[in-house]
Structure 1
Amino acid sequence: MKVVTFGELMVRLQPFNYERFVQANSLEFTFGGGEANVAVSLANYGLDAAFVTKLPAHAIGQAAVNSLRRYGVDTSMITRGGDRVGIYYNEKGASQRGSVCIYDRANSAIQLAQPSDFDWDKIFEGVDWFHFTGITPALGANVVEICLEACKAAKAHGVKISCDLNYRGKLWTRAEAREAMTKLCEYVDVCISNEEDAKDVFGIEAEATDIYGGKLNAEGYKSVAKQLADKFHFEKVAITLRESHNASENGWSAMLYDVASNEYCFSKKYELKIIDRVGGGDSFGGGLIYALLNGKSTQDAVEFAVAASALKHTIEGDYNMMTVSEVEKLAGGDGSGRIQR
């Protein structure tokens, strides 16, 4: 099984521990980005995972490429060129203080990329699955066009397409997101959303839900999933359900709607003590793609994806460094955290 993901890989700069930006004297230097995070998850699960982007040919661009190679991600389709690697600054929240993310990604190599930079027919040879997120087309009209060309080529090659809506208000407006994502979602088979994205992008929301008070209504999410599926003819819709008690403690679960069987499957809920929540949604996406490619049932697929994501919340950095057996152990009910000897 081969999966291709497409998006931006950025430098992540973060104060050590839980320091604030204004008090930090040094920053940790790592890499991350929505679709790259998914590719790392899938490579760690043993799948043939390739990441596509555009990165400068200089040393920082090469360090970004190397961060993926370290985990077995195929980087051979990455286009080299441009001058900048995008940066995001992350300040980890704790207890009642929320995390803060500041972007410095204007004029990055991928933001300035053109459709001619990517040969999608070559990229999709022998590929089974293509994944992107709503973060990537938010980079500009040119990147919307690149995503459209990728989706059209994927369909021509019989490739399944998944998309995580991932609305980022710092990158574009709701109107811009709706226009672009409406066009792109016509090609998508599996849609991943959360309690806010469907509302922000398409104006579809769950009733009787208070995301800030940590109260979620299961029936409302069934309605959201069905509305999304009816609008775009998705095969499956996954909705992650995050109950934010505070920045350090979240309830975490998900629902997967299978249109063909009209089946709504809710996962078990995990009460998380968060080490690092960045990449939590991406690890869900990676887990879901792996589970569906391996023929898991709707219930087993959502359980695997949620368990994968729960484990990611215990790991520093964007990337989820978990194995299939570790995820299946938790999904099977062993959340004891006992030492392995």
Structure 2
Amino acid sequence: MLMKIITMGEIMLRLMTPDFLRIEQTDSFNAIYDGDEAIVATSLSRFGENVTYVTKLPKNALGETCYHRLLAQGVDCSHIARGGQRLGINFYETGVAMRPPRVTYDRANSAFADASLEDFDFDKIFNGSDWFHFSGITPAISSKTRALTKAAVEAAKRHNVIVSCDLNYRRKLWSVEEAQYFMKSVMHHVDVCIGNEEDADCCLGLKPDGTDVFASKLSIEGYKKIFMQICETYGCKHVGCTLRESYSASDNGWSVLCYDGNQFCQSRHYDIRLVDRGGSGASFAAGMIYGLLHQLPLQQVAEFAGAASALKHTIYGGFNLVSLEEVLELANGDASGRVQR
């Protein structure tokens, strides 16, 4: 019997500049619909899981497009509220070489940002559910989404649902002080914590020793200390993070690290020429959730999650359009890129 997974967050319109143009150069944008928890939902659905996505969409053509794109990926949309003023927009300037990607948000007063507790019956949503996933982006959007997140997490625990959180700090949405105040207040409900070095620092005030993300210097021992602190402080059962080495905006090194309170497991390392790095962190979260749901050994969890997220770097657009078989193939060691006939 399939377990029931719930994710909640905002799906947005991402407008990307074509051909590495800057915003001031372009007369057109490529339209992509995505959002952290939506990527997790669609990824898990593509792996064969039963996933429900919770959000609020405006009653217009953009809202309809989001709704049907989620349905097309096999996601249950029965708890999506409708109404509000608009869909949030993310203007994305693609980076190349030493020029990093840049994001400009236009998401104030979006349908989800203005959603209220009355839009969702969380006890109904979580009744019979097994897993709830959210990210730190969701409470960062507005005071109303902070209230929604807190209510959802508390309802999930009332129904004995496993809770996972991708800390996912966004400095353009809230301050470090706001992030730490809220995230620390809900972390005792979190069973599985996901985040990189910036997330741990900005959301929980924990910084790995010997790490300099700007110099692509990652200290595995520093991360291990933080993982142990997170488990000891908040009672989390599992912690995971991605390990990105940014050689440039075009080429990255990639691996992941997972911890179960007893052992640490790091995936194999990938050198990746980027097509679209957007959604790679959410793809890791989906991979880790899948591995834990299926009670895989921790090293296999790390390899599966690492492979899923590495593949996302090669997929243009928001959703990780790969199959379970493709992820397993890479996780089991086939990174040749040879033609599949």
Matches within 5 A, 1:318-333: 318-333=318-333
1:17 Cα deviation from its structure 2 partner? 2.3
Match of 2:105 in 1: 103
Match of 2:11 in 1: 9
1:202 Cα deviation from its structure 2 partner? 1.6
Matches within 5 A, 1:26-105: 26-105=28-107
Match of 1:287 in 2: 287
* CA deviations over 1:281-336 (Å, ceiling 9, x no partner): 00000111111111111110011001000000000111101111100110111000
Which is further off, 117-126 or 33-42? 117-126
Answer yes or no: is 1:268 the counterpart of 2:268.
yes
For 1:101 and 1:67, locate their aligned partners in 2 and report how far apart those are by CA, in whole Å: 23
For 1:61 and 1:126, locate their aligned partners in 2 and report how far apart those are by CA, in whole Å: 28
- TM-score, length-scaled by structure 1: 0.98
Match of 1:336 in 2: 336
For 1:268 and 1:212, locate their aligned partners in 2 and report how far apart those are by CA, in whole Å: 22
Which is further off, 211-220 or 187-196? 211-220
Match of 1:308 in 2: 308
Match of 1:145 in 2: 147
Give the residue type in structure 2 aligned to 1:314. Answer: T
Match of 1:126 in 2: 128
% same residue: 47
For 1:156 and 1:94, locate their aligned partners in 2 and report how far apart those are by CA, in whole Å: 46
For 1:53 and 1:294, locate their aligned partners in 2 and report how far apart those are by CA, in whole Å: 26
1:34 Cα deviation from its structure 2 partner? 0.5
Match of 2:229 in 1: 227
Unpaired stretches in structure 2, ≥5 consecutive residues: none
- TM-score, length-scaled by structure 2: 0.98
Tell whether the 8 Å contact from 1:54 to 1:78 is kept in structure 2 after alignment.
Answer: yes
Give the residue type in structure 2 aligned to 1:313. Answer: H
Q: Match of 1:325, SS? A: helix
1:24 Cα deviation from its structure 2 partner? 0.9
For 2:142 and 2:95, locate their aligned partners in 1 and report how far apart those are by CA, in whole Å: 29
Give the residue type in structure 1 aligned to 2:77. Answer: T
For 2:277 and 2:32, locate their aligned partners in 1 and report how far apart those are by CA, in whole Å: 15
Tell whether the 8 Å contact from 1:225 to 1:239 is kept in structure 2 after alignment.
Answer: no
Q: Match of 2:254, SS? A: strand
1:186 Cα deviation from its structure 2 partner? 1.4
Instruction: Give the aligned CA root-mean-square deviation in angstroms.
Output: 0.9
Give the residue type in structure 1 aligned to 2:288. Answer: L
Give the residue type in structure 1 aligned to 2:185. Answer: K
For 1:249 and 1:126, locate their aligned partners in 2 and report how far apart those are by CA, in whole Å: 43
Match of 1:209 in 2: 211
For 1:6 and 1:319, locate their aligned partners in 2 and report how far apart those are by CA, in whole Å: 16
Number of equivalenced pairs: 339
Q: Match of 1:130, SS? A: strand
1:148 Cα deviation from its structure 2 partner? 1.1
* CA deviations over 1:63-99 (Å, ceiling 9, x no partner): 1111111111111110001011000011110111100
Match of 1:170 in 2: 172
Runs of 4+ in 1 over 6 A off after TM superposition: none
Match of 2:193 in 1: 191
Give the residue type in structure 2 aligned to 1:81. Answer: G
Of 211, 236, 239, the residue aligned with 2:238 is 236
Unpaired stretches in structure 1, ≥5 consecutive residues: none
For 2:191 and 2:113, locate their aligned partners in 1 and report how far apart those are by CA, in whole Å: 26
Match of 2:23 in 1: 21
Q: Match of 1:23, SS? A: coil
1:126 Cα deviation from its structure 2 partner? 2.1
For 1:279 and 1:17, locate their aligned partners in 2 and report how far apart those are by CA, in whole Å: 19
Q: Match of 1:30, SS? A: strand
For 2:158 and 2:203, locate their aligned partners in 1 and report how far apart those are by CA, in whole Å: 27
Tell whether the 8 Å contact from 1:147 to 1:184 is kept in structure 2 after alignment.
Answer: no
